Amino acid sequence: MAEPLLEVAGLKTHFPVLSKLLRRRVGTVKAVDGVDFAVAPGEVLGIVGESGSGKTTVGKSILRLIQPTEGSISFEGRDITNLPAAEMMPLRARMQIVFQDPMSSLNPRMTIGRILAAPFEIHGVAKGQELQDRVAGLLGLVGLPEDAAQRYPHEFSGGQRQRVGIARALALRPSLIIGDEPVSALDVSIQAQILNLLKRLQGELGLTYILISHNLGVVSHICDRVAVMYLGRVVESGPREALFFNPKHPYTEALLAAVPMPEPGMRRARVPLGGDVPSPANPPPGCAFHPRCPRAMARCAIEAPVPTQLGDGHVVACHLHGG
């Protein structure tokens, strides 16, 4: 079995809550509260969950855009959790991100050519004619014409702008790309085009993806494995087929029940969820999902479940399955 490209162990990212008057710490937002997973080279891992589950914070913590509070992050066999900025710089060429909103992630004052040239200039990779050739190559790779280099972001559609964002992420030939809701701001027809582009590029360039999304339909289209997050923790993970066709955690069942069926007349059994997502600044004791769980037991309010292996890489943290 190949060594993991990325390994995350016990990852926690907490943020202080400060009082308005004296700016004293009065609490803690536990955005990510103990996450473990590994991603093999060439694999696509989907991270799903409701808004506020900690998905984006996990992605930014892996890239060290946010400094984790605890835990470890190992990339290409090297622990990068506390590397200083100077040592992180060369590694940033190997790990990139595609942001959710392609308009706000592109500088409106720069042409597309200048935007795509920036990674090469920052890392001292190319200049002059070679730089222009590389920019043209990136545009062709994502299906944009060469003359797009002279235009500005506002002159493109949302889907075209996201292609620019993908091209920028590919500039330095990374091994890992994190997609933070990369298609959620796009029309449904354009979403399919971007997902197919990502899938094609993965095959051509041997990329590894972490795809963050709240849309299980998107995840089912491209991911090999899926991790379901709730209130800062992974409650279930496993191969796509096992998780979609044989979910074990009540929260996963509820998410899947909300996905529209592709065939008219087909229905999924409804899974009722009461209340709202608790605040990560004041999570419930025991299992964080128990206040909303239709199958909660007395034990759930007292004892936090531990991950249980169900076989074939399928893991669930739930007392219903021995956790």
- The total domain count for the chain is 1
186 falls within a domain: yes
Please give the Cα distance from 45 to 38 (Å, whole number): 9
1 falls within a domain: no
pLDDT at 323 over 70: no
26 falls within a domain: yes
Please give the Cα distance from 229 to 237 (Å, whole number): 9
10: alpha, beta or left, given left = phi > 0 and alpha = psi -120 to 50? left
pLDDT over 70 for what percent of the chain? 95
User: What confidence score (pLDDT) does residue 263 get?
Assistant: 55
315 falls within a domain: yes
129 falls within a domain: no
List, for residues 19-48, the tens digit of each pLDDT value: 888 888 889 999 999 999 999 999 999 999
Please give the Cα distance from 185 to 105 (Å, whole number): 12
116 falls within a domain: no
143: alpha, beta or left, given left = phi > 0 and alpha = psi -120 to 50? left
- How high is the mean pLDDT of the chain? 92
Q: Return the exposure string of 161-177: e unless at least 16 CB atoms fall within 10 Å of the residue's CB, then b.
A: bbbbbbbbbbbbebbbb
235 falls within a domain: yes
Neighbour order of strands in the sheet with 314-316: 95-98, 176-180, 208-213, 44-48, 225-230, 233-239, 314-316, 308-311
Mean pLDDT of 96-111: 93
Please give the Cα distance from 241 to 256 (Å, whole number): 13
What CATH number is associated with residue 73?
A: 3.40.50.300
The parent domain of residue 247 ranges over 6-94+174-321
Please give the Cα distance from 54 to 8 (Å, whole number): 15
User: What confidence score (pLDDT) does residue 270 get?
Assistant: 65
Tell me the Cα Rg of the chain: 21
Neighbour order of strands in the sheet with 6-18: 25-39, 6-18, 70-75, 78-79
List, for residues 239-290, the tens digit of each pLDDT value: 999 999 999 999 999 998 877 655 555 556 666 677 778 889 999 999 999 9
List, for residues 161-174, the tens digit of each pLDDT value: 999 999 999 999 99
Yes or no: say if 28 and 16 are a contact pair by the CB < 8 Å rule: yes
Higher-scoring residue by pLDDT: 268, 96: 96
List, for residues 192-221, the tens digit of each pLDDT value: 999 999 999 999 999 999 999 988 888 888
Give the largest Cα separation in the chain, rounded.
69
Indicate the pLDDT class of residue 228, thresholds 50, 70 and 90: very high
User: What confidence score (pLDDT) does residue 273 get?
Assistant: 75
Residues of the chain by 3-state class (helix, strand, coil), percent to 5:
35, 25, 40
